[in-house]
Chain A
Amino acid sequence: MAMTYQEFPGVEWVEGAGDYIKVDAEKCSGCANCVRVCLAQCFKIAGKKAVVDNLDRCMECGACWYVCAPDAIRFSWPPGGTGFRTLWG
Protein backbone atom coordinates (compact mmCIF):
# COMPACT_ATOMS: atom_id res chain seq x y z
CA MET A 1 0.00 0.00 0.00
CA ALA A 2 1.20 3.49 -0.77
CA MET A 3 0.18 6.84 0.68
CA THR A 4 -0.01 10.19 -1.07
CA TYR A 5 -0.33 13.66 0.43
CA GLN A 6 -1.99 16.68 -1.06
CA GLU A 7 0.94 19.06 -0.37
CA PHE A 8 3.38 16.76 -2.15
CA PRO A 9 1.68 15.52 -5.30
CA GLY A 10 3.46 13.13 -7.63
CA VAL A 11 5.15 11.22 -4.81
CA GLU A 12 4.00 8.04 -3.10
CA TRP A 13 5.16 6.49 0.15
CA VAL A 14 5.19 2.70 0.25
CA GLU A 15 4.49 1.32 3.70
CA GLY A 16 6.90 -0.75 5.72
CA ALA A 17 9.68 1.83 5.92
CA GLY A 18 9.93 1.65 9.71
CA ASP A 19 12.01 4.02 11.84
CA TYR A 20 15.07 4.37 9.64
CA ILE A 21 15.90 7.80 11.10
CA LYS A 22 16.39 7.99 14.84
CA VAL A 23 17.51 10.60 17.34
CA ASP A 24 19.83 9.65 20.17
CA ALA A 25 18.49 11.84 22.99
CA GLU A 26 21.76 11.54 24.92
CA LYS A 27 23.71 13.16 22.10
CA CYS A 28 21.07 15.68 20.99
CA SER A 29 21.91 19.27 21.92
CA GLY A 30 18.45 20.55 21.08
CA CYS A 31 19.86 22.94 18.46
CA ALA A 32 16.83 22.34 16.17
CA ASN A 33 18.94 22.36 13.01
CA CYS A 34 17.12 19.21 11.89
CA VAL A 35 13.79 21.00 12.28
CA ARG A 36 15.08 23.93 10.23
CA VAL A 37 16.13 21.93 7.18
CA CYS A 38 13.43 19.28 6.99
CA LEU A 39 10.97 20.17 4.24
CA ALA A 40 8.59 17.46 5.47
CA GLN A 41 8.46 18.62 9.11
CA CYS A 42 9.50 15.22 10.35
CA PHE A 43 11.02 16.51 13.59
CA LYS A 44 9.76 18.40 16.59
CA ILE A 45 11.43 19.61 19.75
CA ALA A 46 10.06 18.16 22.96
CA GLY A 47 11.69 18.84 26.32
CA LYS A 48 14.69 20.58 24.65
CA LYS A 49 15.45 17.51 22.53
CA ALA A 50 14.58 16.67 18.95
CA VAL A 51 12.27 13.75 18.37
CA VAL A 52 11.14 12.22 15.11
CA ASP A 53 7.49 13.17 14.95
CA ASN A 54 6.80 10.96 11.94
CA LEU A 55 8.52 9.99 8.70
CA ASP A 56 5.29 9.91 6.70
CA ARG A 57 6.46 12.44 4.10
CA CYS A 58 10.21 11.97 4.46
CA MET A 59 12.03 11.93 1.12
CA GLU A 60 15.15 10.24 2.53
CA CYS A 61 17.30 13.24 1.62
CA GLY A 62 19.50 13.15 4.73
CA ALA A 63 19.52 16.95 5.22
CA CYS A 64 18.67 16.48 8.92
CA TRP A 65 21.60 14.11 9.34
CA TYR A 66 24.08 16.43 7.61
CA VAL A 67 23.27 19.38 9.88
CA CYS A 68 23.38 17.41 13.11
CA ALA A 69 26.78 18.37 14.50
CA PRO A 70 26.81 16.05 17.53
CA ASP A 71 25.87 13.08 15.31
CA ALA A 72 22.71 12.48 17.27
CA ILE A 73 20.80 11.43 14.16
CA ARG A 74 21.15 7.87 12.96
CA PHE A 75 20.35 7.77 9.27
CA SER A 76 19.85 4.60 7.26
CA TRP A 77 17.79 3.53 4.26
CA PRO A 78 14.34 2.09 4.74
CA PRO A 79 14.04 -1.54 3.57
CA GLY A 80 14.23 -1.98 -0.20
CA GLY A 81 10.99 -1.21 -2.03
CA THR A 82 9.56 0.88 0.84
CA GLY A 83 9.60 4.60 1.53
CA PHE A 84 9.13 7.31 -1.07
CA ARG A 85 8.99 6.94 -4.81
CA THR A 86 8.56 9.69 -7.33
CA LEU A 87 6.27 9.50 -10.32
CA TRP A 88 7.85 12.49 -12.06
CA GLY A 89 11.36 12.58 -10.66
Chain B
Amino acid sequence: MPSFLFDRKAKIQPHVQREGVRAMATTPKTDYDVIVVGAGFGGPVAARKCARAGLDTLMLERSDVPGEKVVSGLVIPIYGFLYGPEFIRKGNPPIERPICSVVNRLVKGGRIVKTDRSLRMPRPFTLGYAAYCKPFCTWLADRATKAGAELRTRTAAVDVIMEDGEVVGVVTDRGEELRARVVIDAGGTQNPLAIKAGIRRKYPPEAIELYMLWDYEMPKRDVDEVFGHSMEFFHAYPEEGIGAPLGYGSTFYIFTYRDSIHPGLGQFLVTEGEIPNLAKLIPQYQENFTARVERWKRDIAPRTRLRAVMWDVCPIYAGLIPSAREMPIYTGGMIVTGDAAGFEASAFGDGVPNAWFSAEIAGETAVEAVRAGDASASFLARYEERVRAHPFIIKTISDRRRWDMRELLAGRDEAEFARKVRDHWGIGAFRYGNMGGPVLKASAKALRESPLVALEWIEMFRRYFDNWERNRFDPLSGTRRGLTPVPQARGEA
Protein backbone atom coordinates (compact mmCIF):
# COMPACT_ATOMS: atom_id res chain seq x y z
CA MET B 1 0.00 0.00 0.00
CA PRO B 2 2.20 2.81 -1.22
CA SER B 3 1.32 5.99 0.60
CA PHE B 4 2.69 8.28 -2.06
CA LEU B 5 2.87 8.48 -5.82
CA PHE B 6 5.88 8.00 -8.00
CA ASP B 7 7.17 9.78 -10.97
CA ARG B 8 9.95 7.63 -12.28
CA LYS B 9 10.61 10.08 -15.07
CA ALA B 10 11.33 12.99 -12.76
CA LYS B 11 14.91 14.03 -13.13
CA ILE B 12 17.55 13.21 -10.60
CA GLN B 13 20.93 13.54 -12.19
CA PRO B 14 22.56 10.14 -12.03
CA HIS B 15 25.74 10.39 -10.05
CA VAL B 16 28.68 10.60 -12.27
CA GLN B 17 30.51 7.34 -11.89
CA ARG B 18 28.53 4.44 -10.56
CA GLU B 19 30.71 1.46 -9.92
CA GLY B 20 30.23 -1.20 -12.50
CA VAL B 21 29.38 1.39 -15.12
CA ARG B 22 32.07 2.50 -17.49
CA ALA B 23 33.28 6.04 -16.92
CA MET B 24 31.23 8.49 -18.92
CA ALA B 25 32.62 9.94 -22.08
CA THR B 26 32.21 13.49 -20.85
CA THR B 27 34.45 14.68 -18.06
CA PRO B 28 32.39 15.24 -14.94
CA LYS B 29 32.02 18.82 -13.85
CA THR B 30 34.31 19.78 -11.01
CA ASP B 31 33.69 23.48 -10.47
CA TYR B 32 30.57 25.00 -8.89
CA ASP B 33 29.41 28.19 -7.27
CA VAL B 34 28.04 26.30 -4.30
CA ILE B 35 28.42 22.73 -3.03
CA VAL B 36 25.90 21.58 -0.45
CA VAL B 37 27.01 18.54 1.51
CA GLY B 38 24.03 16.40 2.51
CA ALA B 39 20.56 16.03 1.05
CA GLY B 40 18.77 15.40 4.34
CA PHE B 41 16.30 17.92 5.74
CA GLY B 42 18.34 21.11 5.43
CA GLY B 43 20.63 20.58 2.44
CA PRO B 44 17.98 20.70 -0.31
CA VAL B 45 16.52 23.92 1.15
CA ALA B 46 19.90 25.66 0.83
CA ALA B 47 20.56 24.13 -2.60
CA ARG B 48 17.18 25.18 -3.94
CA LYS B 49 17.73 28.75 -2.79
CA CYS B 50 21.11 28.93 -4.54
CA ALA B 51 19.89 27.24 -7.73
CA ARG B 52 16.91 29.55 -8.01
CA ALA B 53 19.21 32.53 -7.76
CA GLY B 54 20.98 31.15 -10.82
CA LEU B 55 24.01 29.72 -9.05
CA ASP B 56 25.68 26.59 -10.27
CA THR B 57 24.79 24.32 -7.34
CA LEU B 58 25.74 20.75 -6.48
CA MET B 59 24.31 18.59 -3.67
CA LEU B 60 26.37 15.64 -2.49
CA GLU B 61 24.59 12.84 -0.66
CA ARG B 62 26.30 9.74 0.67
CA SER B 63 23.19 7.58 0.64
CA ASP B 64 21.61 6.09 -2.44
CA VAL B 65 18.21 7.70 -1.89
CA PRO B 66 17.97 11.00 0.03
CA GLY B 67 16.75 10.38 3.56
CA GLU B 68 17.47 6.68 3.81
CA LYS B 69 20.34 7.34 6.22
CA VAL B 70 18.39 9.92 8.21
CA VAL B 71 17.19 8.09 11.32
CA SER B 72 14.42 8.36 11.90
CA GLY B 73 10.72 9.01 11.26
CA LEU B 74 9.56 12.16 12.93
CA VAL B 75 6.91 14.71 13.72
CA ILE B 76 7.95 18.02 12.24
CA PRO B 77 6.56 20.81 14.42
CA ILE B 78 4.28 23.33 12.83
CA TYR B 79 6.55 26.33 13.37
CA GLY B 80 8.85 24.86 10.70
CA PHE B 81 6.03 24.94 8.17
CA LEU B 82 4.59 28.32 9.11
CA TYR B 83 7.81 30.30 9.35
CA GLY B 84 10.10 28.16 7.20
CA PRO B 85 10.58 27.94 3.44
CA GLU B 86 7.58 29.07 1.43
CA PHE B 87 7.96 26.27 -1.12
CA ILE B 88 7.30 23.68 1.60
CA ARG B 89 4.17 25.49 2.73
CA LYS B 90 2.98 25.80 -0.85
CA GLY B 91 3.97 22.29 -1.84
CA ASN B 92 2.45 18.90 -1.15
CA PRO B 93 5.12 16.91 0.67
CA PRO B 94 4.44 13.30 1.65
CA ILE B 95 3.16 13.43 5.22
CA GLU B 96 2.14 10.44 7.27
CA ARG B 97 -0.41 12.04 9.59
CA PRO B 98 -1.46 15.53 10.68
CA ILE B 99 -0.80 15.73 14.43
CA CYS B 100 -3.39 17.86 16.21
CA SER B 101 -2.72 16.92 19.81
CA VAL B 102 -0.05 15.79 22.23
CA VAL B 103 -1.25 13.38 24.89
CA ASN B 104 0.92 13.14 27.99
CA ARG B 105 0.58 10.05 30.20
CA LEU B 106 2.02 9.62 33.65
CA VAL B 107 2.85 5.98 34.33
CA LYS B 108 3.08 4.31 37.72
CA GLY B 109 3.26 0.57 38.26
CA GLY B 110 2.45 0.07 34.59
CA ARG B 111 -0.83 1.99 34.89
CA ILE B 112 -1.66 5.37 33.48
CA VAL B 113 -2.31 7.47 36.58
CA LYS B 114 -2.79 10.80 34.86
CA THR B 115 -3.45 11.96 31.31
CA ASP B 116 -2.89 15.50 30.11
CA ARG B 117 -4.56 16.48 26.85
CA SER B 118 -4.20 20.22 27.24
CA LEU B 119 -2.15 20.72 24.08
CA ARG B 120 -4.45 20.31 21.10
CA MET B 121 -5.69 22.10 18.02
CA PRO B 122 -9.01 21.86 16.21
CA ARG B 123 -8.53 20.34 12.76
CA PRO B 124 -7.46 21.33 10.16
CA PHE B 125 -5.04 23.23 12.41
CA THR B 126 -2.18 21.11 13.66
CA LEU B 127 0.83 21.04 15.95
CA GLY B 128 2.91 19.34 13.28
CA TYR B 129 3.05 16.63 10.64
CA ALA B 130 4.40 13.11 11.00
CA ALA B 131 6.71 11.97 8.22
CA TYR B 132 9.14 9.26 7.20
CA CYS B 133 12.53 10.71 6.32
CA LYS B 134 13.12 8.92 3.04
CA PRO B 135 10.07 10.18 1.13
CA PHE B 136 10.21 13.62 2.76
CA CYS B 137 13.91 14.22 2.06
CA THR B 138 13.45 12.90 -1.47
CA TRP B 139 10.60 15.37 -1.95
CA LEU B 140 12.87 18.17 -0.74
CA ALA B 141 15.75 17.05 -2.96
CA ASP B 142 13.36 16.89 -5.93
CA ARG B 143 12.42 20.53 -5.31
CA ALA B 144 16.11 21.47 -5.39
CA THR B 145 16.84 19.53 -8.59
CA LYS B 146 13.73 20.97 -10.24
CA ALA B 147 15.13 24.42 -9.45
CA GLY B 148 18.30 23.45 -11.30
CA ALA B 149 20.58 22.06 -8.60
CA GLU B 150 22.53 18.92 -9.42
CA LEU B 151 22.32 15.95 -7.04
CA ARG B 152 25.00 13.32 -6.80
CA THR B 153 23.94 10.47 -4.59
CA ARG B 154 26.17 7.66 -3.27
CA THR B 155 28.91 10.24 -2.90
CA ALA B 156 30.46 11.12 0.44
CA ALA B 157 32.50 14.27 0.87
CA VAL B 158 35.48 13.05 2.87
CA ASP B 159 37.68 16.10 3.08
CA VAL B 160 37.82 19.80 2.38
CA ILE B 161 40.24 21.55 0.06
CA MET B 162 41.85 24.48 1.86
CA GLU B 163 43.73 27.37 0.32
CA ASP B 164 45.13 30.23 2.40
CA GLY B 165 43.10 29.07 5.38
CA GLU B 166 39.82 29.12 3.46
CA VAL B 167 37.67 26.27 2.22
CA VAL B 168 37.63 26.17 -1.58
CA GLY B 169 36.06 22.78 -2.21
CA VAL B 170 35.67 19.18 -1.12
CA VAL B 171 37.20 15.83 -1.91
CA THR B 172 34.83 12.93 -2.50
CA ASP B 173 35.26 9.31 -1.48
CA ARG B 174 36.26 8.56 -5.07
CA GLY B 175 39.07 11.06 -4.82
CA GLU B 176 37.48 13.71 -7.04
CA GLU B 177 38.33 17.28 -6.16
CA LEU B 178 35.28 19.50 -6.47
CA ARG B 179 35.67 23.24 -6.14
CA ALA B 180 33.16 25.85 -5.08
CA ARG B 181 33.03 29.47 -3.97
CA VAL B 182 30.98 28.41 -0.95
CA VAL B 183 30.58 24.98 0.69
CA ILE B 184 27.45 24.55 2.81
CA ASP B 185 27.73 21.72 5.34
CA ALA B 186 24.29 20.19 5.90
CA GLY B 187 25.75 16.81 6.82
CA GLY B 188 23.93 16.26 10.12
CA THR B 189 25.11 15.53 13.64
CA GLN B 190 28.45 13.76 13.23
CA ASN B 191 29.80 16.28 10.69
CA PRO B 192 33.30 14.93 10.11
CA LEU B 193 33.65 17.48 7.30
CA ALA B 194 33.38 20.61 9.44
CA ILE B 195 35.81 18.92 11.82
CA LYS B 196 38.26 18.37 8.95
CA ALA B 197 37.87 22.04 8.04
CA GLY B 198 38.94 22.89 11.57
CA ILE B 199 35.70 24.76 12.29
CA ARG B 200 34.21 22.29 14.75
CA ARG B 201 35.16 19.44 17.05
CA LYS B 202 33.18 16.33 17.86
CA TYR B 203 30.35 17.18 20.24
CA PRO B 204 31.00 16.46 23.92
CA PRO B 205 29.09 13.28 24.87
CA GLU B 206 27.01 15.26 27.41
CA ALA B 207 25.31 16.96 24.45
CA ILE B 208 24.41 13.76 22.64
CA GLU B 209 21.33 11.62 23.08
CA LEU B 210 21.19 8.11 21.65
CA TYR B 211 17.70 7.26 20.34
CA MET B 212 16.34 3.86 19.50
CA LEU B 213 13.24 3.51 17.37
CA TRP B 214 10.82 0.72 16.58
CA ASP B 215 8.49 0.90 13.61
CA TYR B 216 5.27 -1.12 13.78
CA GLU B 217 2.67 -1.71 11.12
CA MET B 218 -0.83 -0.94 12.40
CA PRO B 219 -3.94 -0.80 10.21
CA LYS B 220 -5.08 2.75 9.58
CA ARG B 221 -8.48 2.24 11.16
CA ASP B 222 -6.74 1.09 14.34
CA VAL B 223 -4.38 4.07 14.41
CA ASP B 224 -7.43 6.28 13.83
CA GLU B 225 -9.33 4.61 16.64
CA VAL B 226 -6.56 4.30 19.22
CA PHE B 227 -4.76 7.59 18.59
CA GLY B 228 -6.71 9.71 16.12
CA HIS B 229 -4.57 12.71 15.27
CA SER B 230 -2.53 12.59 18.45
CA MET B 231 0.92 11.47 19.48
CA GLU B 232 1.75 10.27 22.98
CA PHE B 233 4.47 10.66 25.57
CA PHE B 234 4.79 8.34 28.58
CA HIS B 235 6.44 9.98 31.58
CA ALA B 236 7.64 8.04 34.60
CA TYR B 237 10.10 8.02 37.46
CA PRO B 238 13.23 5.97 36.78
CA GLU B 239 12.15 3.04 38.94
CA GLU B 240 9.45 2.18 36.39
CA GLY B 241 12.33 1.11 34.15
CA ILE B 242 10.66 2.42 31.00
CA GLY B 243 13.01 5.29 30.26
CA ALA B 244 16.07 7.28 31.18
CA PRO B 245 16.30 9.22 34.46
CA LEU B 246 14.27 12.43 34.06
CA GLY B 247 16.12 15.11 32.13
CA TYR B 248 18.68 12.60 30.84
CA GLY B 249 16.68 11.36 27.92
CA SER B 250 13.42 11.46 26.09
CA THR B 251 10.59 9.50 27.58
CA PHE B 252 9.00 6.69 25.61
CA TYR B 253 6.97 8.33 22.86
CA ILE B 254 4.68 7.11 20.11
CA PHE B 255 4.58 8.92 16.79
CA THR B 256 1.53 8.00 14.76
CA TYR B 257 1.56 7.54 10.99
CA ARG B 258 -0.97 6.61 8.31
CA ASP B 259 -0.89 2.88 8.85
CA SER B 260 1.98 2.47 11.26
CA ILE B 261 3.31 3.79 14.55
CA HIS B 262 6.89 4.78 15.29
CA PRO B 263 7.76 4.61 18.99
CA GLY B 264 11.14 5.64 20.32
CA LEU B 265 13.09 6.64 23.38
CA GLY B 266 16.51 7.98 24.10
CA GLN B 267 19.17 8.58 26.70
CA PHE B 268 22.18 10.87 26.88
CA LEU B 269 25.63 9.38 26.42
CA VAL B 270 26.52 10.88 29.80
CA THR B 271 23.87 10.33 32.46
CA GLU B 272 24.37 11.55 36.02
CA GLY B 273 28.06 11.97 35.30
CA GLU B 274 28.68 8.51 33.88
CA ILE B 275 28.68 6.72 30.55
CA PRO B 276 25.78 4.31 31.08
CA ASN B 277 25.50 0.85 29.64
CA LEU B 278 23.06 1.95 26.95
CA ALA B 279 23.55 -1.24 24.97
CA LYS B 280 21.75 -2.95 27.84
CA LEU B 281 19.52 -0.19 29.20
CA ILE B 282 17.77 1.10 26.08
CA PRO B 283 16.51 -2.27 24.81
CA GLN B 284 15.52 -3.05 28.42
CA TYR B 285 13.35 0.08 28.72
CA GLN B 286 11.50 -0.93 25.59
CA GLU B 287 11.10 -4.49 26.82
CA ASN B 288 9.76 -3.25 30.14
CA PHE B 289 7.44 -0.78 28.47
CA THR B 290 5.91 -3.36 26.18
CA ALA B 291 5.69 -5.96 28.97
CA ARG B 292 4.32 -3.69 31.69
CA VAL B 293 2.39 -0.72 30.40
CA GLU B 294 -1.26 -1.64 30.17
CA ARG B 295 -2.15 0.76 27.42
CA TRP B 296 0.46 -0.83 25.20
CA LYS B 297 -0.52 -4.40 26.05
CA ARG B 298 -4.26 -3.90 25.78
CA ASP B 299 -4.90 -1.21 23.18
CA ILE B 300 -1.85 -1.20 20.97
CA ALA B 301 0.20 -4.41 20.84
CA PRO B 302 -2.58 -6.73 19.61
CA ARG B 303 -3.02 -4.56 16.52
CA THR B 304 0.63 -4.14 15.57
CA ARG B 305 3.47 -5.99 13.92
CA LEU B 306 7.11 -4.93 14.33
CA ARG B 307 8.79 -4.19 11.03
CA ALA B 308 11.87 -2.08 11.75
CA VAL B 309 14.40 -1.33 14.50
CA MET B 310 17.02 1.41 14.26
CA TRP B 311 18.92 4.09 16.16
CA ASP B 312 20.90 7.27 15.81
CA VAL B 313 22.30 10.11 17.89
CA CYS B 314 21.05 13.66 18.19
CA PRO B 315 22.90 16.75 19.55
CA ILE B 316 19.98 17.75 21.77
CA TYR B 317 21.93 19.67 24.41
CA ALA B 318 24.46 21.24 22.02
CA GLY B 319 22.93 24.64 22.77
CA LEU B 320 23.14 24.13 26.54
CA ILE B 321 26.71 22.94 26.90
CA PRO B 322 29.17 25.81 26.51
CA SER B 323 31.93 23.85 24.74
CA ALA B 324 29.40 22.78 22.08
CA ARG B 325 27.57 26.08 21.84
CA GLU B 326 30.74 28.08 21.36
CA MET B 327 32.00 26.23 18.30
CA PRO B 328 32.01 28.43 15.17
CA ILE B 329 29.34 27.92 12.49
CA TYR B 330 31.24 29.36 9.53
CA THR B 331 34.72 30.03 8.24
CA GLY B 332 36.09 31.43 5.02
CA GLY B 333 34.34 29.55 2.19
CA MET B 334 32.17 27.36 4.43
CA ILE B 335 28.87 27.61 6.31
CA VAL B 336 27.59 24.97 8.74
CA THR B 337 23.82 24.40 9.15
CA GLY B 338 21.26 22.25 10.97
CA ASP B 339 22.41 19.44 13.24
CA ALA B 340 26.01 19.92 12.09
CA ALA B 341 25.83 23.39 13.65
CA GLY B 342 24.14 22.14 16.83
CA PHE B 343 20.72 23.59 16.02
CA GLU B 344 18.63 20.86 17.64
CA ALA B 345 15.82 22.20 19.82
CA SER B 346 16.66 21.10 23.36
CA ALA B 347 13.15 20.80 24.81
CA PHE B 348 11.57 18.33 22.36
CA GLY B 349 14.52 17.32 20.21
CA ASP B 350 13.00 18.68 17.03
CA GLY B 351 15.68 19.73 14.63
CA VAL B 352 13.94 19.97 11.27
CA PRO B 353 12.58 23.52 11.64
CA ASN B 354 16.01 24.86 12.61
CA ALA B 355 17.64 22.87 9.81
CA TRP B 356 15.22 24.59 7.40
CA PHE B 357 15.68 28.06 8.89
CA SER B 358 19.47 27.86 8.96
CA ALA B 359 19.62 26.34 5.46
CA GLU B 360 17.56 29.21 4.10
CA ILE B 361 19.85 31.72 5.75
CA ALA B 362 22.91 29.81 4.51
CA GLY B 363 21.54 29.75 0.95
CA GLU B 364 20.78 33.46 1.03
CA THR B 365 24.25 34.23 2.42
CA ALA B 366 25.93 32.03 -0.21
CA VAL B 367 24.05 33.81 -3.00
CA GLU B 368 25.24 37.18 -1.70
CA ALA B 369 28.80 35.91 -1.29
CA VAL B 370 28.97 34.54 -4.84
CA ARG B 371 27.50 37.73 -6.26
CA ALA B 372 29.93 39.86 -4.29
CA GLY B 373 32.82 37.60 -5.23
CA ASP B 374 33.67 37.46 -1.54
CA ALA B 375 33.35 34.30 0.55
CA SER B 376 35.80 35.38 3.20
CA ALA B 377 35.05 34.73 6.85
CA SER B 378 34.31 38.40 7.40
CA PHE B 379 31.71 38.37 4.61
CA LEU B 380 30.12 35.11 5.81
CA ALA B 381 29.85 36.52 9.35
CA ARG B 382 26.43 37.80 8.32
CA TYR B 383 25.26 34.15 8.42
CA GLU B 384 25.84 34.03 12.16
CA GLU B 385 24.30 37.48 12.67
CA ARG B 386 21.13 36.32 10.92
CA VAL B 387 21.05 33.06 12.86
CA ARG B 388 21.29 35.07 16.07
CA ALA B 389 18.52 37.42 15.00
CA HIS B 390 16.21 34.56 14.02
CA PRO B 391 13.15 34.25 16.28
CA PHE B 392 13.51 30.49 16.83
CA ILE B 393 17.04 29.15 16.39
CA ILE B 394 18.88 30.41 19.46
CA LYS B 395 15.74 30.40 21.59
CA THR B 396 14.97 26.74 20.88
CA ILE B 397 18.52 25.43 21.26
CA SER B 398 18.92 26.99 24.68
CA ASP B 399 15.57 25.92 26.11
CA ARG B 400 16.17 24.32 29.51
CA ARG B 401 12.79 22.67 30.01
CA ARG B 402 13.90 19.10 29.41
CA TRP B 403 17.20 19.59 31.21
CA ASP B 404 15.37 20.94 34.26
CA MET B 405 13.32 17.76 34.60
CA ARG B 406 16.43 16.54 36.46
CA GLU B 407 15.33 18.55 39.47
CA LEU B 408 12.48 16.09 39.92
CA LEU B 409 14.84 13.22 40.56
CA ALA B 410 15.71 14.29 44.09
CA GLY B 411 12.19 14.86 45.43
CA ARG B 412 9.18 12.68 44.74
CA ASP B 413 6.74 15.54 44.31
CA GLU B 414 4.11 14.14 41.97
CA ALA B 415 2.13 17.36 41.70
CA GLU B 416 5.29 19.15 40.63
CA PHE B 417 5.97 16.36 38.12
CA ALA B 418 2.52 16.78 36.58
CA ARG B 419 2.93 20.54 36.52
CA LYS B 420 6.29 20.32 34.76
CA VAL B 421 4.91 17.88 32.21
CA ARG B 422 2.02 20.23 31.45
CA ASP B 423 4.33 23.22 31.26
CA HIS B 424 6.76 21.44 28.99
CA TRP B 425 4.82 19.03 26.77
CA GLY B 426 1.28 20.28 27.45
CA ILE B 427 -0.39 23.63 26.93
CA GLY B 428 2.47 25.34 28.81
CA ALA B 429 4.55 24.82 25.67
CA PHE B 430 2.77 27.92 24.39
CA ARG B 431 3.66 30.08 27.38
CA TYR B 432 5.30 33.31 26.35
CA GLY B 433 8.67 32.33 27.80
CA ASN B 434 8.55 28.90 26.17
CA MET B 435 7.35 28.98 22.55
CA GLY B 436 4.76 31.76 22.80
CA GLY B 437 7.27 34.60 22.53
CA PRO B 438 9.08 33.32 19.43
CA VAL B 439 5.76 32.46 17.77
CA LEU B 440 4.42 36.00 18.31
CA LYS B 441 7.67 37.51 17.12
CA ALA B 442 7.82 35.32 14.02
CA SER B 443 4.14 35.91 13.20
CA ALA B 444 4.57 39.67 13.49
CA LYS B 445 7.63 39.53 11.23
CA ALA B 446 5.91 37.32 8.64
CA LEU B 447 2.79 39.48 8.60
CA ARG B 448 4.86 42.64 8.27
CA GLU B 449 6.64 41.19 5.26
CA SER B 450 3.40 39.99 3.66
CA PRO B 451 0.01 40.44 5.30
CA LEU B 452 -1.36 37.76 3.00
CA VAL B 453 0.73 35.13 4.71
CA ALA B 454 -2.13 34.49 7.15
CA LEU B 455 -4.30 33.31 4.26
CA GLU B 456 -1.42 31.20 3.04
CA TRP B 457 -1.22 29.52 6.45
CA ILE B 458 -4.92 28.69 6.55
CA GLU B 459 -4.81 27.42 2.99
CA MET B 460 -1.84 25.22 3.89
CA PHE B 461 -3.59 23.68 6.89
CA ARG B 462 -6.61 22.82 4.76
CA ARG B 463 -4.64 21.50 1.81
CA TYR B 464 -2.27 19.38 3.93
CA PHE B 465 -5.22 17.78 5.69
CA ASP B 466 -6.99 17.20 2.42
CA ASN B 467 -3.85 15.73 0.83
CA TRP B 468 -3.57 13.36 3.75
CA GLU B 469 -7.19 12.26 3.59
CA ARG B 470 -6.97 11.61 -0.12
CA ASN B 471 -3.48 10.13 0.27
CA ARG B 472 -2.22 12.19 -2.65
CA PHE B 473 1.03 14.10 -2.57
CA ASP B 474 3.47 15.47 -5.11
CA PRO B 475 5.03 12.68 -7.14
CA LEU B 476 8.49 11.61 -6.00
CA SER B 477 11.43 10.81 -8.23
CA GLY B 478 12.11 7.09 -8.25
CA THR B 479 15.28 5.11 -8.04
CA ARG B 480 16.18 1.68 -9.24
CA ARG B 481 14.35 0.14 -6.33
CA GLY B 482 11.63 2.74 -6.23
CA LEU B 483 10.89 4.72 -3.16
CA THR B 484 8.35 2.62 -1.39
CA PRO B 485 10.27 0.86 1.29
CA VAL B 486 9.18 -2.66 0.41
CA PRO B 487 9.63 -5.10 3.28
CA GLN B 488 12.49 -7.40 2.39
CA ALA B 489 12.80 -11.09 2.96
CA ARG B 490 15.16 -11.89 5.80
CA GLY B 491 18.66 -13.04 4.93
CA GLU B 492 20.33 -11.81 1.82
CA ALA B 493 18.32 -9.27 -0.14
Instruction: Give the B-binding residues of A (Cβ under 8 A).
Output: 1-4, 6-12, 14, 33, 35-39, 41, 59-63, 65-67, 75-81, 83-89
Contact = CB atoms under 8 A, between A and B. Distances in A.
A88 B307 contact: yes
B279 A88 contact: no
Contact of B62 (A65, A75, A80, A89): A80
Contact of B306 (A1, A9, A87): A9
Contacts of A88: 72-73, 132, 215, 260, 262, 307-308, 485
B63 A81 contact: yes
Interface string B114-130: 00000000000000000
Contact of B192 (A9, A41, A61, A75): A75
Given A12-B493, A39-B278, A86-B134, A59 B312 contact: yes
Given A37-B210, A88-B215, A62 B308 contact: no
> How many interface residues does chain B have, given as a range?
35 or more
A80 to B, nearest CB: 4
Contacts of B436: none
Contacts of A11: 308-310
A10 B487 contact: yes
Given A36-B275, A39-B212, A87 B62 contact: no
A65, A66, A84, A85 — most chain B CB neighbours (10 Å): A66
Contacts of A89: 67-73, 132-134, 213, 308, 310
Contacts, number: 164
Given A9-B308, A59-B71, A87-B485, A39 B203 contact: no
Nearest to A62: B190
B54 interface: no
Contacts of A36: 275-279
Nearest to B484: A87
B486 interface: yes
Contacts of B61: 80
A18 to B, nearest CB: 10
A66 B313 contact: yes
Contacts of B276: 36
Given A65-B202, A80-B156, 18 more contacts: A4-B488, A4-B489, A4-B493, A10-B310, A12-B493, A39-B311, A61-B312, A61-B313, A65-B190, A66-B202, A66-B269, A77-B62, A77-B192, A78-B156, A80-B62, A81-B62, A87-B488, A89-B68
